[in-house]
Each structure stands twice: as structure tokens, then as C-alpha cells.
A = this chain, B = another copy of it.
Amino acid sequence: MKEREHPLSALATRLSGRTELTSADLSAILDLPYQERRVAVGDYLVQEGERSGNCQVMLTGFAHRHRFSAEGLRHIVGIHGEGDILNLPALPPARAEDFVQALSMVTVAAIPTESLLALCRSHPGIANALWAEVDANLSVVRAWIANMGRRDARGRIAHLFCELSMRDHRTGGQDGCEIVLPLTQAELADATGMTTVHVNRTLRALEAEGFIDRDRRRIIVPNWRRLAELADFRMAPWTARTGVVVKG
């Protein structure tokens, strides 16, 4: 019978997937002070302009990070899932530059920035893991740029699907894996710089060409390699995440 996991094990697992951590490191992470929060669909985890003395870590659920253009158009600049760190431990806290909004029911842990920084000072291995995590994040964000810039509609959607798929440690990257889309077609549009109309047509095209099977928000990838090739997807920043699962 599996014991109930410590909430912060999501963070411990993520970090230990980046760098080998000692058991002392791991328990130090689980000993961090934190406050758990449940957030309903549509509510905000981060609001533009706010300053927070906490680092928020996603424990469960999905969220999207977005900005608004001057004309009021929303653009989604990232998707967040379990284990993601929503804001870096900057002191004094900088103003958030974007919104992070829950796509599903979400739980997050708020860890005092000062505690996290102190932990990095006392446990160099954790600092290394954190830097590696940020490095991987940067790479993912840059992949989004390349995705928007030099890929057509099918490729963009496919790339996003690959990324979403990799967030599931169990099945991600395998043939037949299933993605339960946390995004509506309108949100897919805002994440890929397209219109809802064209997203819809592209989804049907991907289905017609056998890249995916669809049943409402449920996407199945019969041939992962084929989709990844269409998407020109790079596994590197994602593979490292299959760390040891840490229990509380």
C-alpha cells in the first residue's frame, strides 16, 4: 500500500531528475516551509504586476502563462504542470510580467523565497539542480520561439502536443500515449498564434492524416516518432525529468 506523498515531493522529484541529489538534499527539500493552496479553474496563480516573496511550485493540475498585447489579444507563452516552478527566487521580488491561470483544478505550494535561497546556500547540490531546472526551462521557452517562427500550423500544434505528452512521466513519448488536453481550441490558438478556426481545421487534418486520434479533449498518439518528427520536437529538456519519485 503506497503511503500518502508529501506535497513537496513534486518539487523533490523534479529537482532530483535534474541532478543526482543526496538523501540529505531530498529531506531538506521536504522540510522546506510552505503553504498549500487550491486554485479553481480560471483563477489566477500569478497576476501581472504583483510582487511575491514566495516561490510557487505546481503540485497538481495545469496552468497557462499569458500576456496581453496592447490591442487586448491574449498570447499564451507557456504551459505549466506538476513540478514547475512558477517564479524564480528573486529578492527583492520583481513584478510579475505575466498572468498564470489555472486550466484545471490546481494545487500549488508557496515557499518563502528566502527559505529556498537559504537552502541553496546550505545545499550546493540543490543549487545545482535548481540551475539545471532553470536552464531546461529556458531551453523550452526558446523552443516555443522557434516553433512559432519557422513552423506551419500542423507543426505548431504537433509540437505543443509533444510537450504536453512529455509532462506525463508514465506514458509520455510512447506509442499510443494519451493526452487529455487541458486547453480548449481557443487556448490552443492563443498558444500557437493562430485562429480558433484554423486550429480546428488543423486538428482535423492531423486526425485525417493519422497523426492523432481524437475523442473530445482526449488525444491519442498512435505513432509517437511520426508526430515528433512532424513537430521537430527535441526531447532533451524533457527527458531529464524522469527522476526518482520521492515519497514523504
Residues of B within 8 A of A75 (CB): 145-146, 149-150
A98 part of interface (Cβ distance < 8 Å): yes
Is A141 touching B135 in the complex (CB atoms < 8 A)?
no
The CA-CA distance from A91 to B18 in the complex, in Å, is: 10
A113-149, CB under 8 A of B: which get 1 and which 0? 0000100110010011001101111110111111011
Chain B CB within 8 A of A192 CB = yes
Q: Judge if A175 is at the interface, Cβ distance under 8 Å.
A: no
Taking CB atoms and an 8 Å cut-off, the chain A residues in 77-98 that contact chain B are 77-78, 87-92, 94-95, 97-98
Q: How many copies does the complex hold?
A: 2
A window 146-160: CB within 8 A of B: 146, 148-151
* Interface membership of A67, Cβ < 8 A: yes
A192/B149 contact (C-beta < 8 A), A70-B232, A237-B97 known: yes
A229 proximity list for chain B (CB < 8 A)? 70
Chain B CB within 8 A of A69 CB: yes
Q: Does A234 contact B (CB under 8 A)?
A: yes
Whether, in the assembled complex, A165 has its beta carbon less than 8 Å from a beta carbon of chain B, the answer is no
Chain B nearest CB from A114 CB (Å) reads: 10
A151–B193 alpha-carbon span in the complex (Å)? 9
Q: A70-B229, A128-B91, A148-B193 are in contact. Are A78 and B142 (CB under 8 A)?
A: yes
Expressed in whole angstroms, the minimum distance between the Cβ of A131 and any Cβ of chain B is 5
Residue of B nearest to A97 (CB): B139
Give the Cβ gap from A241 to chain B, nearest Cβ, in Å: 13
Contact of B141 with A141 in the complex, beta carbons under 8 Å: yes
Bound CA span A91–B65, Å:
28
Chain A, residues 40-68, CB within 8 Å of chain B (1/0): the string is 00000000000000000000000001010
A148-B151 contact given A131-B90, A131-B91, A132-B94, CB 8 Å threshold: no
A–B pairs, 26, beta carbons within 8 Å: A19-B92, A67-B143, A69-B146, A70-B232, A75-B145, A75-B150, A77-B146, A78-B145, A88-B134, A88-B135, A89-B131, A90-B131, A90-B132, A91-B128, A91-B131, A94-B136, A97-B139, A97-B234, A97-B237, A120-B121, A121-B127, A134-B134, A148-B148, A149-B190, A149-B193, A150-B193
Nearest 10 A-B pairs (CB), nearest first?
Answer: A149-B193, A148-B148, A77-B142, A75-B146, A70-B232, A97-B139, A77-B145, A75-B150, A90-B131, A90-B132
